[in-house]
């Protein structure tokens, strides 16, 4: 099952996110960065973090910084209320995964979440192989 941390004011959620909340995706919710803080700790298990561009106590960059500081291995997807070509490039350039701009429809968002989950799974598998290869053999 895909596990998502949703850092967004409930009043700003698009219909697409509300539709996904009724699906087989597990959502953990936080309305701002402060309430998301305890959830973004080392060892937290999320496939993706979806956040609004702006939060009451920060923005998507603050969420990304928290992910990087704690080492939480999750893909960051930023939702924007208005279209913006520069946002997607900026998100990816800073280490995020994707920026979702209007129109927000559930199928593309679901596809991006599935791809984010696969990317996280592949990174985990690569990390395990690397650490196994680096371990001294018991010969």
CATH architecture of 3-134: 3-Layer(aba) Sandwich (3.40)
4-57 tens-digit pLDDT: 899 988 877 776 677 777 777 888 889 999 999 999 887 788 988 999 899 999
3-state secondary structure of 137: coil
Total-model pTM? 0.77
Q: Which of 77, 83, 81 is nearest to 113 (CA)?
A: 77
User: Which residues make Cβ contacts (< 8 Å) with residue 85, sequence separation at least 6?
Assistant: none
- Name the maximum alpha-carbon separation found in the chain: 60
Q: The dihedral of CA 106, 88, 62, 76: what is its sign?
A: positive
- Going from N- to C-terminal start, the domains of the chain cover 3-134
Residue for token pair 């959830």: 39
pLDDT of residue 65: 93
Residue for token pair 């998507």: 60
Say if strands 48-52 and 26-30 run parallel, antiparallel, or are unpaired.
unpaired
């Amino acid at each position: 099952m895909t596990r998502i941390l949703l850092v967004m004011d409930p009043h700003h959620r698009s219909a697409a996110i509300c539709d996904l909340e009724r699906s087989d995706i597990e959502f953990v919710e936080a309305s701002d960065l402060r309430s998301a803080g305890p959830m973004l700790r080392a060892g937290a298990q999320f496939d993706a973090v979806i956040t609004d561009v702006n939060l009451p106590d920060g923005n998507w960059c603050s969420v990304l910084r928290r992910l990087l500081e704690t080492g939480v291995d999750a893909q960051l997807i930023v939702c924007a209320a208005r279209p913006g070509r520069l946002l997607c490039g900026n998100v990816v350039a800073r280490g995020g995964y994707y920026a979702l701009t209007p129109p927000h429809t559930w199928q593309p968002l679901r596809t991006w979440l599935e791809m984010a989950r696969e990317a996280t799974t592949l990174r985990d598998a690569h990390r395990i192989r690397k650490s196994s290869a680096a371990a001294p053999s018991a010969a």
